[in-house]
Amino acid sequence: MAYYEAICFWLSLVLYALASGGNIYALVFRNQKVVPKLLVLITVGFVVHSGAIAARYVAQGHMPWSADYENGLMGGWFIILCTLYVAWRQKPLRVLSVATVPTAMLIMGYGVMRNPTLAPMAATLKSFWLAIHVYFAWLSFGAYVLAMAAGVIYLLKERAVRERGQAPAEPVPGRFDDISPERLDELMFRYLVFGFITNAIMIAAGSIWAKDLWGSYWSWDPVETWSLISWLMYGAAIHLRVTMGWRGTRFSWLMIGALITVLINLFGVAVLMKTTVHVFRFS
């Protein structure tokens, strides 16, 4: 890690941690008044986080998009970016930060424990198609995290509704009261759809890149295999909703569970598989 990068990285983690603590407070004590202040904290954290990326860029001379630490750094950044974007577009969606910020912290924390050393850009990573591939991977990842967060809020809200014996469509005072369960349910689908389309672009671009790098579009390499698993999983989820009518609680659990496939895609391939074939002996 570069000097300023390390400072910014840890500072952003602290700010995100404070915001997450505040979110838990708001949740437990049913005090939503603090939520706008927490959003300010997250925004400051995001600016500092961007500083960490900029410092790394300056130190290395290329965008950080390889290996676990950089996956965590950029993945976390995209998650927060998506969170802030939806919160800016629609105030009630600020509440999604309850689940998205801890997810970003988790992957950043995991990444930093692995390999934050600075390295020049390997020739294998210099490709237009790879840039498209990585960019859309982050977008889809951010959208899937939002879908998961909407699922978490849906479940919390549903429990609150059950406790109070109110009809599900009615707002629950003190608990995310400006967003109805029906909206949350549809938001899950909307984020899922965005993630699914960007994920499809990511797979297509990755496969065109693979042809230039390894000579074939698809070789069932663990990385390729798992990204297909993850896409098919979300495809199955779309089917379950569109053709089998899955909604609400079941669909929320599906969105939370399906995110595991994405996390494995991000880190697990390196952890679970000791070898992926696509390495140059020379490199």
Evaluate whether 104 touches 79 at the Cβ level (below 8 Å).
Answer: yes
Is 220 an interacting residue with respect to other proteins (CB under 8 A)? yes
CA distances from 158 to 32, 94, 246 (A): 17, 18, 16
Chosen residue from 43, 233, 249, 270 binding other proteins by CB under 8 A:
233
For every residue of 193-254, DSSP letters joined together read HHHHHHHHHHHHHHHHHHHHHHSSS----HHHHHHHHHHHHHHHHHHHHHTT---HHHHHHH
Interaction between residue 2 and other proteins (CB under 8 A)? no
Residue 271 binds to other proteins (criterion: CB under 8 A): no
Asked if 226 interacts with other proteins (CB under 8 A), we say yes
Sequence letter at residue 56: R
Q: Which residues inside 211-250 make contact with ligand HEM, applying CB under 6 A?
A: 231-232, 235, 238-239, 242-243
CB of residue 49 to ligand HEM, shortest distance in Å? 32
Answer with the entry of ligand HEM, other proteins, none that 167 interacts with (C-beta below 5 to 8 A by kind): none
**In the 8-state DSSP scheme, what is residue 179?**
S
**Footprint (CB under 8 A) of other proteins, residues 71-130:** 119-124, 126-127, 130
Out of other proteins, ligand HEM, none, what residue 204 binds, judged by CB under 5 to 8 A for its kind, is other proteins
In the bound state with ligand HEM, the residue whose beta carbon lies nearer, of 239 and 250, is 239
Which residue, judged by CB position, is nearest to ligand HEM in the bound state?
235
User: Among 83, 130, 79, which Cα is nearest to 262's?
Assistant: 79
262 binds other proteins (CB under 8 A): no
H-only helix segments in 90-221: 97-112, 128-164, 181-214
CA neighbours closer than 13 Å in the CB half-sphere of residue 186: 5
Q: CA dihedral in degrees (29, 40, 190, 206; nearest 10)?
A: -130
CB of 150 to other proteins, least distance (A): 11
CA 89 to mean position of chain CA atoms: 18
Binding site for other proteins (CB under 8 A): 119-124, 126-127, 130, 180, 182-183, 185-187, 189-190, 193, 196-197, 200-201, 204, 207-209, 212-217, 219-222, 225-226, 228-229, 232-233, 235-236, 239-240, 242-244, 272-273, 275, 277, 280-283
Contacting positions for ligand HEM (CB under 6 A): 231-232, 235, 238-239, 242-243
